[in-house]
């Protein structure tokens, strides 16, 4: 950093320009609460970074309620069917007609981020891209502050009443927490996926989950010309060790293309290994610092809940900040963790259940054989039991009862 420090003042300092930070920022601006968003990556990066794309009905309603859904309502696709392929056969669940009779809206996260950035700037919001936060302090009594470095090397100090950490599991907000300040519950599920993005049309009209002796495979549409695939792989796998011929051959084998028809192929434009983990902090607030999204709780991608939990918590926190800063009511901020954590844990439970449904150890020892037999029984119950199907649909699409202590006025 060079030269003098440039000073800034705002009521709420938001670290991170992902869905959590941008929804929070937009809601605060709409309520007349000053805020600033600081993002370490460039605008081009966050608007192009491919992430989740399945938005729950509650999430769509939240975004619509706050004028943030024009893009997804115009360009999103409704998905209400999923398919399971097993050695015993194939079955389809039209979950839009089960449980609460709700569907997903498929809208790639980078498109949502692009929309949220544009709306935040249209509303007059202050947003600093390419500005990594290098220090966070003032959590134990003094006014909290962020120290950040602009692209030209200039140091900026942001002071505010509150800080919202929306910068992920590895972000500065988490690392700034004093040792022992919050509890942490973590589980490594011992499962890794090769996450793939193919420039290829979807091969099916549904999300497909394939259970195979060689491991799980998944098919998720993103756009009419882009499809997300997953392949279970060994932990520690180098994603570049899988060439395209091997990827497509393994996808077709596990998805039983010989029975159900070939996959529509195209260039693999992104590949990465994802280790399935769960990681929840409790509480998700410390003094003037409040954690949102993956910074508060990391969830495995097995049930597509991450972005939906982020939007839920952002709305709860925006309402709480507004109650305190505009209306002088600190009670909603005090119960932020208590409001959000039950919803987070319900999503974690369903994600954990999905991991057990889709994976089982491959060994020939007694425990592995037992767990594979349990998986077969779970799938058979899901295929045949309407009660099980309704429970699946309710949890697959939704987050369960979400906090609602009154809308922001």
> 382 in a domain, yes or no?
yes
Q: What share of the chain is helix, strand, coil (3-state, %, to 5)?
A: 40, 30, 35
Residues 257 and 306 in one domain: no
Cα separations (Å) of 343 from 64, 312, 340?
21, 9, 6
> 403 in a domain, yes or no?
no
Q: What is the pLDDT along the chain (409 residues), one digit of tens a residue?
A: 557 899 999 999 999 999 999 999 999 999 999 999 999 999 999 999 877 789 999 999 999 999 999 999 999 999 999 999 999 999 999 999 999 999 999 999 999 999 999 999 999 999 999 999 999 999 997 799 999 999 999 999 999 999 999 999 999 999 999 999 999 999 999 999 999 999 999 999 889 999 999 999 999 988 889 999 999 999 999 999 999 999 999 999 999 999 999 999 999 999 999 999 999 999 999 999 999 999 999 999 888 899 999 999 999 999 999 999 999 999 999 999 999 999 999 999 999 999 999 999 888 999 999 999 999 999 999 999 999 999 999 999 988 777 765 443 3
Structure confidence at residue 362 (pLDDT): 86
* Adjacent-strand bridge partners of 336: none
> 152 in a domain, yes or no?
yes
Residues 174 and 38 in one domain: yes
> 124 in a domain, yes or no?
yes
Residues 200 and 173 in one domain: no
> 408 in a domain, yes or no?
no
Residues 199 and 344 in one domain: no
Tell me the CATH number at 59. Answer: 3.50.50.60
Listed in order, strand segments (DSSP E) in 166-216 are 183-198, 207-210
Q: Which of 8, 66, 79, 219 is catalytic?
A: 79
Per DSSP, helices labelled H in 50-198 are: 57-65, 70-75, 109-122, 172-175
Cα separations (Å) of 284 from 42, 118, 149, 219, 339?
27, 29, 26, 33, 10
> For residue 201, what are its two tokens?
């049309």
Structure confidence at residue 407 (pLDDT): 46
> For residue 319, what are its two tokens?
């309402």
> 115 in a domain, yes or no?
yes
Spell 376-398 as b/e; 16+ CB within 10 A means b: eebbeebbeeeeebebbbbbbbb
Q: Which 3 state secondary structure label does DSSP give 219?
A: strand
> 407 in a domain, yes or no?
no
Structure confidence at residue 52 (pLDDT): 75
Q: Which of 95, 230, 336, 396 is catalytic?
A: 396
Residues 342 and 366 in one domain: no
Structure confidence at residue 142 (pLDDT): 76
Q: Which of 108, 144, 288, 301 is catalytic?
A: 301
Is 305 considered catalytic here? Answer: yes
Residues 126 and 40 in one domain: yes
Structure confidence at residue 23 (pLDDT): 98
> 211 in a domain, yes or no?
yes
Q: What is the DSSP string of 249-299?
A: HHHHHHTTHHHH-PPPP--EEEEEEEEEEEEEEESSEETTEEE-GGGTEE-
Cα separations (Å) of 11 from 37, 157, 194, 285?
11, 14, 42, 17
Residues 60 and 144 in one domain: yes
Residues 269 and 309 in one domain: no
What pTM value is reported for the model? 0.94
Torsional sign, CA 343, 346, 348, 354: negative
Residues 245 and 325 in one domain: no
Tell me the CATH number at 252. Answer: 3.30.9.10
**169: domain range?**
2-78+103-186+276-356
Residues 176 and 213 in one domain: no
Determine contact, residues 216/210, Cβ cutoff 8 Å: yes
Structure confidence at residue 136 (pLDDT): 97
Order of all β-strands in the sheet with 126-128 = 126-128, 35-38, 12-15, 162-165, 289-291, 285-286
Residues 228 and 343 in one domain: no
Structure confidence at residue 1 (pLDDT): 52
Q: Which of 107, 120, 209, 230 is catalytic?
A: 209
Q: Which of 305, 332, 352, 359 is catalytic?
A: 305
Is 95 considered catalytic here? Answer: no
Count of domains in the chain?
Answer: 2
Residues 295 and 230 in one domain: no
Q: Which 3 state secondary structure label does DSSP give 137?
A: strand
């Amino acid at each position: 950093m060079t030269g003098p420090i440039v000073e800034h003042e705002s009521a709420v300092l938001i670290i991170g320009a992902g869905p959590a930070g941008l929804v929070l920022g937009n809601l605060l601006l709409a309520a007349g609460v000053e805020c600033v968003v600081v993002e370490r990556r460039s605008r081009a990066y966050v608007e192009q970074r491919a992430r989740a794309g399945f938005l729950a009905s509650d999430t769509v309603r939240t975004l619509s309620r706050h004028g943030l859904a024009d893009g997804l309502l115009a360009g999103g696709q409704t998905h209400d069917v999923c398919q399971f392929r097993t050695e015993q056969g194939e079955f389809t669940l039209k979950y839009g007609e089960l449980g609460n009779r709700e569907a997903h809206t498929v809208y790639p996260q980078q498109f949502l981020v692009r929309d949220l950035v544009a709306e935040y700037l249209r509303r007059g919001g202050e947003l600093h891209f390419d500005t990594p936060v290098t220090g966070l302090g003032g959590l134990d009594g003094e006014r909290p502050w962020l120290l950040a470095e602009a692209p030209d090397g200039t140091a900026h100090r942001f002071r505010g009443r509150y800080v919202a950490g929306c910068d992920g599991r590895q972000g500065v907000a988490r690392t700034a927490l004093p040792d022992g300040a919050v509890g942490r519950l973590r589980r490594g599920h011992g499962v890794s996926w090769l996450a793939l993005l193919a420039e290829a049309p979807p091969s099916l009209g549904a999300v497909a989950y394939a259970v195979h002796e060689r491991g799980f495979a998944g098919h998720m549409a993103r756009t009419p010309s882009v499809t997300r695939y997953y392949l279970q792989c060994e932990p520690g796998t180098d994603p570049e060790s899988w060439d395209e011929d091997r990827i497509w051959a393994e996808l077709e084998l596990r998805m039983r293309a010989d029975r159900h028809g070939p996959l529509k192929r195209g260039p693999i434009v992104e590949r990465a290994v994802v280790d399935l983990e769960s990681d929840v902090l409790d509480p998700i607030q410390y003094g003037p610092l409040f954690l949102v999204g993956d910074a508060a709780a990391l969830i495995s991608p097995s049930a597509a809940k991450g972005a939906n939990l982020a939007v839920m918590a952002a709305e709860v926190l925006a309402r709480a900040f507004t109650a305190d800063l505009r209306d002088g009511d600190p009670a909603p901020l005090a119960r932020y963790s208590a409001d959000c954590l039950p919803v987070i844990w319900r999503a974690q439970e369903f994600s954990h259940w999905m991991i057990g449904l889709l994976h089982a150890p491959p060994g020939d020892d007694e425990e592995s054989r037992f767990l594979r037999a349990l998986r077969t029984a779970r799938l058979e119950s899901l295929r045949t039991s309407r009660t099980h199907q309704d429970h699946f649909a309710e949890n697959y699409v939704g987050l369960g009862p979400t906090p609602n202590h009154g809308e922001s006025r």
